[in-house]
A and B are shown apart, each in its own frame.
Chain A
């Protein structure tokens, strides 16, 4: 192969890659707003699915832990929704967990994962996720490792199942140690935010 041939080859590949990259950046810019919107709608749908009786879902941060506080019609906190990330077999698994004030799991959803299709990817099945509902603390461990455990791992996907289970347990323990669940909602938000919140909800009622 002549030197000039190599050179033209490189130039053509470089130009094509550069143009493609530029075009894709433009497409990304156009679609990003809509993608974010869709993500938000989906997140709200999942929240409502976990807490059908929840009226307000307020993003909150307390003692360095950010979560969504679920309020009923009387503005009492009835639960919390956390998003946690835990590394599984093929990368991080992003898990959404809803717990009530007694730290019992109300619902678990897998938002993102890169587990093996057909094996680890089965952690998204309801058959696996529904096992968590209504349980807390040391009930939440894989039966494979602890005799008192109540969670059956997905066959052939122990690492993925373990990541989900441990992630949830760790999160619950953290909430327990920080004692967030027992604090009433009025203590969570600073004064100004509370006012803003009140104004918002009043507006909502007027509509």
Chain B
């Protein structure tokens, strides 16, 4: 990894957006993705929460990476992540109880979300603070973009609405399966296929 040597590497930000997108490439953090992507509003709330926790946890872990002995790193990471998640949890209860209710158990479950622990372990514990912050932002944004697209498709087909506004008219018959877990898997599968085909085409052009 070249990121280890450079002080600021833009790749640590951009890789999470497209090439190493946590949902479409690394396929981590799928639990909240499947659970809260049936409505765009909830999905965006989850995305913002992930960006905040991921960036905060990455920065903190990168800051103390030289002090933490490797045999206790996992519990230390979990405590740090849990602190950020609980902060989000309290803030949402206080300022947006409806969103808090909709996210339900998936908000506290972010503590053991593999995007966050995965990035802490794979990136933040080996890289400097700036790159770790960029990685957190990039991965968080990548997650948010993916969950936004998936939830937009699911909400549109499943309810005929976008952000709660009716788009497809009253006569639209909802495609109920889109609101259920299989719908999330289907949409995710098609998006991954799309991403792969775009990348393959790009490679051919290079050749």
- State whether these chains interact: yes
Q: Does B87 contact A (CB under 8 A)?
A: yes
Q: Which of A1, A5, A23, A32 contacts B83 (CB 8 A)?
A: A23
Question: Are B68 and A27 in contact (CB-based, < 8 A)?
Answer: no
User: Closest CB of chain A to B162's CB: distance in Å?
Assistant: 27
The interface on chain A, measured as residues whose beta carbon lies within 8 A of the other chain's beta carbons, has a size of 20
**Residues of chain B with a CB closer than 8 A to A17's CB:** 79
Q: Does B169 contact A (CB under 8 A)?
A: no
Question: Are B105 and A117 in contact (CB-based, < 8 A)?
Answer: yes
Q: Does B69 contact A (CB under 8 A)?
A: yes
A5-B71, A9-B69, A16-B76 given as contacts; is B83 within 8 A of A35 (CB)? no
Query: In the bound complex, what is the Cα–Cα distance between A27 and B64 (angstroms)?
Result: 22
Secondary structure of the B contact surface, majority rule: helix
**Segment 58-99 of B: residues with Cβ below 8 Å from A:** 64, 67-69, 71-72, 75-76, 79-80, 82-83, 86-87, 90-91, 93-95, 97
**Closest partner residue, chain A, to B88 (CB atom):** A27
Flag A101-126 by CB within 8 Å of B: 1 or 0 each: 00000000000000001000000000
Query: In the bound complex, what is the Cα–Cα distance between A200 and B105 (angstroms)?
Result: 41
**Segment 95-120 of B: residues with Cβ below 8 Å from A:** 95, 97, 105
**Closest partner residue, chain B, to A10 (CB atom):** B72
Q: Which of A20, A28, A32, A42 contacts B82 (CB 8 A)?
A: A20
Query: In the bound complex, what is the Cα–Cα distance between A9 and B67 (angstroms)?
Result: 10
**Residues of chain B with a CB closer than 8 A to A16's CB:** 64, 68, 76, 79-80
Q: Does A207 contact B (CB under 8 A)?
A: no
User: Closest CB of chain A to B106's CB: distance in Å?
Assistant: 11
Query: In the bound complex, what is the Cα–Cα distance between A16 and B82 (angstroms)?
Result: 12
User: Closest CB of chain B to A1's CB: distance in Å?
Assistant: 7
**Closest partner residue, chain B, to A29 (CB atom):** B90
**Closest partner residue, chain A, to B86 (CB atom):** A24
Secondary structure of the A contact surface, majority rule: helix
Number of contact residues on B: which range applies? Answer: 20 to 34
**Residues of chain A with a CB closer than 8 A to B95's CB:** 34
**Residues of chain A with a CB closer than 8 A to B80's CB:** 16, 20
Question: Are B79 and A20 in contact (CB-based, < 8 A)?
Answer: yes
Question: Are B87 and A27 in contact (CB-based, < 8 A)?
Answer: yes
Question: Are B83 and A24 in contact (CB-based, < 8 A)?
Answer: yes
User: Closest CB of chain B to A51's CB: distance in Å?
Assistant: 22
Q: Does A38 contact B (CB under 8 A)?
A: yes
Question: Are A12 and B83 in contact (CB-based, < 8 A)?
Answer: no
Q: Does A31 contact B (CB under 8 A)?
A: yes
Question: Are B93 and A31 in contact (CB-based, < 8 A)?
Answer: yes
Q: Does A8 contact B (CB under 8 A)?
A: yes
Query: In the bound complex, what is the Cα–Cα distance between A56 and B152 (angstroms)?
Result: 43
**Residues of chain B with a CB closer than 8 A to A117's CB:** 105
Listed by A's residue number, 17 A-B pairs whose Cβ atoms lie within 8 Å are A1-B71, A5-B69, A8-B69, A9-B71, A12-B68, A12-B72, A16-B68, A16-B79, A20-B79, A20-B83, A23-B83, A24-B87, A27-B86, A27-B87, A31-B90, A31-B94, A34-B94
Hey, which bits of chain A sit against chain B, CB under 8 A?
1, 5, 8-9, 12-13, 16-17, 20, 23-24, 27-28, 31-32, 34-35, 38, 42, 117
Q: Closest 9 interchain pairs by CB?
A: A34-B94, A31-B94, A20-B83, A9-B72, A31-B90, A35-B94, A38-B97, A27-B87, A9-B69
